[in-house]
Amino acid sequence: MAQKVIVTNMAGEPVNQAVIILKTAQEGHPLIVLTDNNGIAEVGTFLRKVQVVVRHVSFVDYTDSLNQITADFKIRLTEKDVKLDEVVVTSEFTPKTQSESIAPVTVINRTQIDNQAASNLESVLSQQLNIRISQDGILGSSMSMNGLGGQNIKFLVDGVPVTGRLDGSIDLSQINLNNVERIEVVNGPMATSYGTDAAGGVINLITRQSVDKKFETGINTMYESIGQYNVDGFAGYNTGKSSVYLSGGRNFFDGWSSTDTGRWQEWKPKEQIFGNAKYRWVGKKMVASYSLNVFDEKLSNKGTPRMTPYAAYAFDEYYKTQRITNQIQSSFIPGRDMLLSAMFAHSYYQRIKNTYIKDLTTLNESLVAGSEEQDTTRMHTITGRATFSGMSKDSKISYQSGIDLTHEIADGSRFNEETKSSGDYALFFTAAYKPTIKLEFKPGFRIAYNTNFKAPVIPSFSVKYQLSKIIAIRGSYGKGFRAPGLKEMYLYFVDINHNIQGNENLLPEYSDNFYVSTSVTHNYNTITFNHELSGFYNSMRNLITLAQPDPENSLFTYVNLGKYSTHGMNYRINGSYKGFSAGAGVSYTGRYNIYSDSADFDQYIYSPDFSANIQYHLTKVNLTFSTFFKFNGKLPGYKLNEDGTITQFTNDSYRFLDASVRKGFLKNRISFAAGVKNILNVTNVNAMNAASAHSAGNEEQAVGTGRSYFGKLTFIFGK
């Protein structure tokens, strides 16, 4: 009968998906197995002395040496107190800690998400250094990172790309965090491993895989004084090697304006309904899962009343978004020092716009005739990815080869009722060579075939040098390639607020991307400090952007801007002492485009950012105080005037300050959080968006919904 290793936490609860590594002096290769949902892994019988290493994201590494294993062996893991060295999976062959990773990765864990009371990706990223969030009342929120727009950032959920870009970006307010365990933000070029849209980095959301106990269920409720009402819940069941996890909820926002505008509101009312179902099986050397994710949003744009002697009416627009994603994933350990992973997903995206004329006396409404007032966009995205990872006998060389397939189909009235498609099929290979314990190289390349454009070979090269126990130096270079998206080429979006039409003559984007960083980590007993100084340079050619070619015409279309580049520096410091943790960072980013060559302007225009957070946890009473601050500095830009001349403008700076307190009861089975968001009451700032197809010419930009107060209550039950 095979012997077992049983892994639990200090309270005796099972720890699932812990990595167990067993090695004997006589064997050159270790045995690697995973624990199941009951914290059990079968390891066989070892009659010689064996070294046991157990690793898990949430616990301190366990190491022991045994003369033999001939009976079941129980291990208790200690939870991590220091959160500065999380385990990451994005960009790595196998899970590694942040300090071991060759790529610079920022981890936003569940504790920070809860302390921020963040319900979607927009709210949590708005506090991150050198990330800027922009808003459009209809198109939603988008972001830029290190000066590059969201079209050059890859968004993943458990490794599956998020589909349905609007204006080139994903609406971050539509990505809910109710079942997200952590968010991994990878800075620097990632096109070799993740392909198009990843020249500037990757943001990967890791969702919860299963519950901690045999059965567990919970509910979260949240109210915010700006008219936000959220409720979501989950239920999970573990039985042997299998587990089932269900979650879902509803977020409702009643709309908000800085002044009383009647029916029309700056921040549009919206209702979101979402759900997730996941089945997971854990074997001795294999993990397999299937998940279904559904999302439905209705955004209401209510028009201003129109009065005549005989009638009172308004034009109301409703935008309905639906996403359905089916996903299958599997990881298999075919032999020692080998890992085979595969993923297949189908994503369906639909966005419907309906315009009604509403009689404000009888409240009757009817659809407005005309293709410009009613339209539908549908997109199907099929994604497949498989990787094989291995290492040499002496462990100096590790490698990963893979295949990455994406096929996208779009149709609807915004594509002139035609069906458009594009495909990107790629092979990639990356190797890591570690000639010494301090030095590691990681070259790679990607060969792709794009159905619409000729794709070049995409090389990359990364290096890490551990100068000393506390100092690490990292550097990376990668080429980038982004084919124009279907919407950029074929979109037809015309209504009272928008006039956007695609451009079939677009050329692909090409880029060279560099990122370097130096990190210093100090550990003094219970005190830990981490400093990081980083720099980046991105050079883009044929940058695709939304522009107004003729200032006298309201038409906006996608064009190739030509040359565009960004460079800058970031400095971060984080520290922790017992229950106290704090962090701060400052960045300075320069942007260049060809407009600066048209007149007597500086070649680069610069903008600063600053972020800080303080969190204090009183362990004895399970009480946490949190404060988050973000300063977005002045952002210069260029404007094309009606006479064809170019002038420079500057968007005003603005700052956000949030504070919260969170209290847990009965070992966090019940928790309550309350706080204030946007304490400084920032709403609108003076701004000029030179390439906006919505509300063109507006001298103000909405950046915040004003000061608000929130309360959140959570109940969790299990056995």
Each residue's pLDDT tens digit, 607-632: 999 999 999 999 889 999 999 999 99
Q: Scanning the structure block, which residue is given the tokens 């006998």?
A: 393
Question: DSSP 3-state assignment of 436?
Answer: coil
Average pLDDT, integer, range 670-694: 81
C-alpha–C-alpha distance, residues 16 and 238, integer Å? 10
Distance of alpha carbon 499 from alpha carbon 654, whole angstroms: 30
Residue 110 φ/ψ, nearest 5 degrees: -65, -35
The per-residue pLDDT for 58 is 73
Strands 306-307 and 312-332: antiparallel
pTM: 0.85
What are the C-alpha distances in Å from 521 to residues 265, 366, 687?
A: 48, 64, 40
d(CA 150, CA 169): 5
Q: Which residue has the higher pLDDT, 87 or 34?
A: 34
Nearest to 408 by CA among 321, 501, 295, 489: 489
**Residues β-bridged to residue 439:** 465
Strands 375-391 and 338-359: what pairing? antiparallel
Residues belonging to the chain: 719
Q: Return the minimum-mean-pLDDT range out of 385-389, 411-415, 615-619, 702-706.
A: 411-415
pLDDT number for residue 387:
94
Write b or e for each residue in 276-293: b if 16 or more Cβ atoms lie within 10 A of its Cβ, otherwise e.
bebebbbebbebebebeb
Tokens in use for 407? 């096929």
Q: What is the DSSP string of 218-259?
A: EEEEEEETTTEEEEEEEEEEEETTEEEEEEEEEEEE--B-SS
CB atoms near residue 193 (< 10 Å): 27
Reading the block at residue 163, the tokens are 């589909």
- Considering 49-58, 70-79, 441-450, 690-699, the range whose residues carry the highest mean pLDDT is 441-450
Q: What is the pLDDT of residues 553-582, one digit of tens each?
A: 667 788 887 888 999 999 999 999 888 999
| Tens digits of residue pLDDT in 292-308 | 999 999 999 998 888 88
Which residue, 675, 592, 694, is CA-closest to 636? 592
Q: What values do phi and psi take at 556, rounded to 5?
A: -115, 140
Tokens representing 92?
Answer: 């790595």
Query: Would you say 630 and 123 are in contact if contact means Cβ atoms under 8 Å apart?
Result: no
Higher-pLDDT residue of 224 and 411 is 224
- What is the CA angle 579-580-584, rounded to 5? 150
Mean pLDDT of 358-378: 82
Confidence of residue 429 (pLDDT cuts 50, 70, 90): very high
For the segment 247-290, what is each residue's pLDDT rounded down to a tens digit? Answer: 999 999 999 988 876 788 889 999 999 999 999 998 888 899 99
pLDDT interval class at 678 (50, 70, 90): very high
Amino acid residing at 364: N
User: What percentage of the chain reaches a pLDDT higher than 70?
Assistant: 91
Tokens of 297: 């949003």
Mean pLDDT calculated for residue range 318-339: 90
In the predicted model, is pLDDT for residue 695 greater than 50?
no
Provide the H-helix boundaries in 424-572.
486-490
Lowest mean pLDDT segment, chosen from 84-98, 110-124, 429-443, 650-664: 84-98
Our measurement of the distance from residue 46's CA atom to the centroid of its chain's CA atoms, rounded to an integer in Å, reads 43
User: According to the model, what pLDDT value does residue 459 have?
Assistant: 95
Averaged pLDDT for residues 639-651: 73
pLDDT at residue 279, rounded to an integer? 95
At position 526, the amino acid (one-letter code) is: T
Beta strand extents in 102-189 (DSSP E only): 105-109, 131-136, 140-145, 148-149, 153-157, 160-161, 180-187
C-alpha to C-alpha distance for 260 and 282, rounded to whole angstroms = 56
Q: Which residues contact 58 (CB under 8 A, 6 or more apart)?
A: 79, 80
First to last CA, the chain: 30
- Say how many C-beta atoms besides its own lie within 10 A of residue 496's C-beta: 12
The mean pLDDT value for 476-499 works out to: 79
User: Which of 105-109, 473-477, 556-560, 597-601 shows the lowest mean pLDDT across its residues?
Assistant: 597-601
DSSP for 524-566, please give it: ETTEEEEEEEEEEEEEEES-EEEE-SSTTS--EEEEE--EEEE
Q: Which residues pair with 533 in a beta bridge?
A: 518, 571
Which domains are seen in the chain, by residue range? 4-77 (2.60.40.1120), 205-718 (2.40.170.20)
How does residue 694 score in pLDDT terms, banded at 50, 70 and 90?
very low
Which residue has tokens 């990639």? 428
User: Strands 509-524 and 527-541: what pairing?
Assistant: antiparallel
Structure tokens at 367: 């659809």
pLDDT for 486 equals 81
Q: 3-class DSSP state for residue 135?
A: strand
* Average pLDDT in the chain: 86
Q: How far, CA to CA in Å, does 330 sit from each of 217, 402, 621?
A: 26, 14, 41
Lowest mean pLDDT, pick from 231-240, 328-337, 462-471: 328-337
Asked whether the beta carbons of 37 and 241 are under 8 A apart, the reply is yes
Q: Measure the CA–CA gap between 375 and 414, rounded to whole angstroms.
A: 7
Q: Which residues, 6+ apart, have CB-to-CB distance to 702 below 8 Å? A: 135, 137, 258, 266, 267, 683, 684
493 pLDDT higher than 80: no
- Measured CA to CA in angstroms, residue 358 lies from 255, 302, 303, 365 at distances of 19, 10, 9, 4
Q: 3-class SS at 409?
A: strand
Query: Could you count the other beta carbons within 10 Å of the beta carbon of residue 7?
Result: 26
Phi, psi dihedrals of residue 151, rounded to the nearest 5°: -70, -15
For residues 504-509, give the mean pLDDT: 90
Q: For residue 383, how many C-alpha atoms fall within 13 Å in the half-sphere facing its CB?
A: 25
Question: Please, is 107 exposed, middle or buried when counting C-beta atoms within 10 Å of its C-beta (0-12, 13-18, 19+)?
Answer: buried
Residue 81 reports pLDDT greater than 60: no
92: helix, coil or strand? coil
Apex CA 627: angle with CA 621 and CA 632, to 5°?
165
pLDDT digits (tens, 9 = 90+) for 141-178: 888 999 888 888 999 999 899 988 776 678 999 999 99
The per-residue pLDDT for 259 is: 80
Dump pLDDT digits (tens) for 342-355.
Answer: 999 999 999 998 99
CA dihedral 315, 372, 137, 506 (to 10 degrees): -170
What 8-state DSSP symbol labels residue 193? H
Distance in angstroms (rounded) separating the CA atoms of residues 195 and 428:
9
> Count of CB atoms within 10 A of residue 577's CB?
14
Residue 572 near residue 583 (C-beta atoms within 8 A) = yes
Instruction: Output the pLDDT for position 415.
Output: 66
Predicted pLDDT at 644: 63
Instruction: State the pLDDT confidence band at 84, using cuts at 50, 70 and 90.
Output: very low
Is residue 416's pLDDT more than 80?
Answer: no
Residue 249 tokens read as: 């909820």
List pLDDT tens digits, range 26-50. Answer: 655 677 888 887 888 887 777 677 8
CB neighbours of residue 713 within 10 Å: 14
